[in-house]
Amino acid sequence: MVVLDKPLPYVGITPMQIITAVLVLIVGFIVAKIIVASFKKGLKKTKLSGLVIEFLARFLSALLYVAVILLAVRALGIAVGSVVLGLSAVIGLILGFGMQDTLTNLAAGVWLAALRPFEKGDVVTIAGQTGKVEAVGVMSTELLTPDNVLITIPNKLVWGNVITNYTRMPTRRVSVDVGVAYGTDLDKAVKLAMELMKNHPKLLNDPEPSVIITGLGDSSINLQLRAWTKTEDYWAVKVDLTKGIYELYMKEGIEIPFPQMDVHIKEMPK
């Protein structure tokens, strides 16, 4: 029969202390989650952005988890002061062997939360990776790609790289390139493209749509359709215009050429 208050051999800790420590961990983690959830709910009533709220919530969560672990250690009968001193010594040792990166990530996370080059839900390109911002944590930033892959980037790489934000502005210009054959009536081609854009319900009248000649290619005169729309409608409009201009030109007999190569074979002398 196990006596709960009798120390176990070699460890000097009683079963009751172990049970108490486990209960402290379970209850502590549950309470920590409740506190963090209430904290986030309260911050959402302020004017802080979702990104800042998420960062602060994660920071508070980390502090609470450390506190719970220290309480569990104390329940085991180990002096918390000695544990803290031991952790301080370990941290000091780690600092001498590369903790600078960790501190840099932490500082970069604070700057990202404060200056907000992007918000949660924005679509961005950072360090060659493109995705929707899921969160900015204490140490890293999370992006979710269109094919549902989660990418974690250290904050120092986010803050130290060019950040391209595709959804920050309320409107975007849609550009669609199309080539027409040499000899095409350009006035007619431009007029048809303008009519296509002006009749699209999701395009803005200000700025007005336009069609420009971007160059004379090897096999085509290159045109570009330019129109403005709301950012959330960007991809739908781009697909509509690309499909629409192709079908319209085919219907009106305007040729859209493709690169071709003529090969002439000479008969070899016998």
Residue 50, burial from CB neighbour count under 10 angstroms (0-12, 13-18, 19+): middle
| pLDDT value of residue 1 | 43
Domains of the chain (ranges; CATH) run 15-107 (1.10.287.1260), 117-165 (2.30.30.60), 171-252 (3.30.70.100)
Q: How far apart are CA 252 and CA 185, in angstroms?
A: 11
Q: What DSSP state is assigned to residue 116? A: -
Q: What DSSP state is assigned to residue 203? A: B
| pLDDT value of residue 63 | 81
| pLDDT value of residue 143 | 93
The rounded Cα 9 to chain-centroid distance in angstroms is 52
| pLDDT value of residue 83 | 56
Q: How far apart are CA 34 and CA 36, in angstroms?
A: 6
Looking from the CA of 73 toward its CB, the CA atoms found within 13 Å total 15
- Which of the residues in the chain have pLDDT under 50? 1, 97
What are 171's strand-pairing partners?
230
pLDDT digits (tens, 9 = 90+) for 37-71: 888 888 777 776 676 777 778 778 888 888 888 88
Supply 262's token pair: 């003529």
Supply 109's token pair: 């996370």
Supply 245's token pair: 């201009």
| pLDDT value of residue 245 | 95
Q: How far apart are CA 24 and CA 228, in angstroms?
A: 58
